[in-house]
Amino acid sequence: MTEKSKKHVDSCRFCWMCRHICPIGNATGLERNTARARALGLSMVNRGTFGLSEVIDNVYECACCGACTKECVTGWDPVMFVKEARLDAAMDGVLPECINVLVDNCLETGNTYGLTEVDAALAEVMGRHAEKTDVVLFLGVDATYKVPEAAVNAIKVLEKAGVSFTVLENEPASGQQLEYLISAANETKEQMNTCAEALNGFAKVVVFDPQDAKVFKREYKEWGVELKAEVVTFTTYLAELLEKGELTAVNSGKAVVYQDPFQLSRDLAEIEEPRKVISAYAVCNEMLCFGKDTMWAGNLLMKEWMPDVIARVAVDRINNAKGVGADTIVTASVSEYASLKAVEQAEVKIISLEELVLGE
Ligand code: SF4
Ligand code: SF4
């Protein structure tokens, strides 16, 4: 572990001020799922009390959502040392077996799910945009393989706005899943470089999934991956299309709340753009913990090894919406959409930004 990370591990005051904000800790109610407990375990590893393998399961119980980092009263960054511990575990060969399988899948197929077949309806819609243009819509692995209806809707929204764009038939992985699983390993950077090469023939990349947008705009720069094309999030692109009048809207007057994906609101400081889009079609209200203070609503990747916890994380977020009397949550993250939709309940409707724009 770098000296900087060791300092962050040891500098945790164990003050509990970040405890209430952790979506995983809130869902499990377990002390081990707090940033504080993780720092304590890693501090003992750094002191040689026991090996990293003793706490590695716990290291993978963190969503790296950054809520604790934002909340930390002393300015320490639990996400940073979690990422370093994961890289160390990969290099030392002590990854949990379930994580090894996901990493292998990712290296073989580009996605942790090990999927290679694209849904027929999505393939048909993608085929309409195979021709090379200046703009490429980057769908991401979750939309391509797990939630194809979201990918179809994203394409339909750009078609509705009359945008001329390309969708890659064999879209390379952005590296976001490997970045989450094994951080700055050579394999992650190789995947990112391959992706950058494929995208550099375009002037603009419109990124549908906030998880991809985060790595394109942050890790690629930090790690020297040269992505020359302009990168714009799907949400910001829609806000621009509305402003230019290329996307038209009729406001239904319906009240909704917006689930900020932390990758957009916390990591990329994108707060206003999605609200501008929502406000064109509906009345955008706020629920508890929004904007930079957003509470993560679960994802598809962690569901692979913590399905029950991810289900509870989603239930908690739906309860946040109920708490302000909301009956509709609008999402801009395909994996949060899937996580929230998976909860069996009828009181709060879950819709994606694309569904809102398309009036579905
Ligand atoms: S990064 Fe998120 S999931 Fe991980 S400890 Fe902090 S608040 Fe919890
Ligand atoms: S990470 Fe920060 S806020 Fe959380 S327990 Fe440690 S010092 Fe306190």
Which residue type is seen at 53?
A: S
Which residue type is seen at 158?
A: L
Q: Are strands 328-331 and 255-259 parallel, antiparallel or unpaired?
A: parallel
Ligand closest to CA 298:
1
Rounded to two decimals, what is the model's pTM?
A: 0.96
To test the pocket of ligand 1, the residue of 16, 40, 79 to mutate (highest count of ligand atoms within 8 Å of its CB) is 79
Residue 14 predicted with pLDDT over 80? no
* Residue 142 main-chain phi, psi, to 5 deg: -65, -45
User: Which pLDDT belongs to residue 4?
Assistant: 82
Residue 145 predicted with pLDDT over 90? yes
Structure tokens at 215: 């790595």
What is the tens place of the pLDDT at every residue in 246-259?
999 999 999 999 99
Which residue type is seen at 116?
A: T
Distance CA 263, CA 210 (A): 6
CA 205 / ligand 1 centre spacing (Å): 29
What average pLDDT does this structure show over 304-324? 97
Closest Cα to atom 1 of ligand 1 = 64
Closest Cα to atom 2 of ligand 2 = 72
Ligand closest to CA 62:
1
Query: pLDDT class for 10, splitting at 50, 70, 90?
Result: confident
User: Which pLDDT belongs to residue 88?
Assistant: 95
* Domains, the chain, ordered by start: 3-95 (no CATH), 120-239 (3.40.50), 249-358 (3.40.50)
Q: Is the CB of 123 under 6 A from ligand 2?
A: no
Distance CA 197, CA 185 (A): 19
**212 touches 186 (CB < 8 A):** no
Q: Is the CB of 184 under 6 A from ligand 2?
A: no
Distance CA 310, CA 159 (A): 34
Closest Cα to atom 5 of ligand 1 = 35
Query: pLDDT class for 11, splitting at 50, 70, 90?
Result: confident
Q: Which residues line ligand 1 (CB under 6 A)?
A: 21-25, 35, 62-68, 78-79
Q: Is the CB of 17 under 6 A from ligand 2?
A: yes
To test the pocket of ligand 1, the residue of 68, 79, 301, 317 to mutate (highest count of ligand atoms within 8 Å of its CB) is 68
User: Nearest-CA neighbor of 180 among 219, 228, 137?
Assistant: 219
* Residue 117 main-chain phi, psi, to 5 deg: -95, 130
Q: Are strands 204-207 and 135-138 parallel, antiparallel or unpaired?
A: parallel
What average pLDDT does this structure show over 178-188? 97
Distance CA 134, CA 112 (A): 30
User: Which pLDDT belongs to residue 18?
Assistant: 85
Distance CA 195, CA 167 (A): 14
Q: Is the CB of 22 under 6 A from ligand 2?
A: no
User: Which pLDDT belongs to residue 9?
Assistant: 79
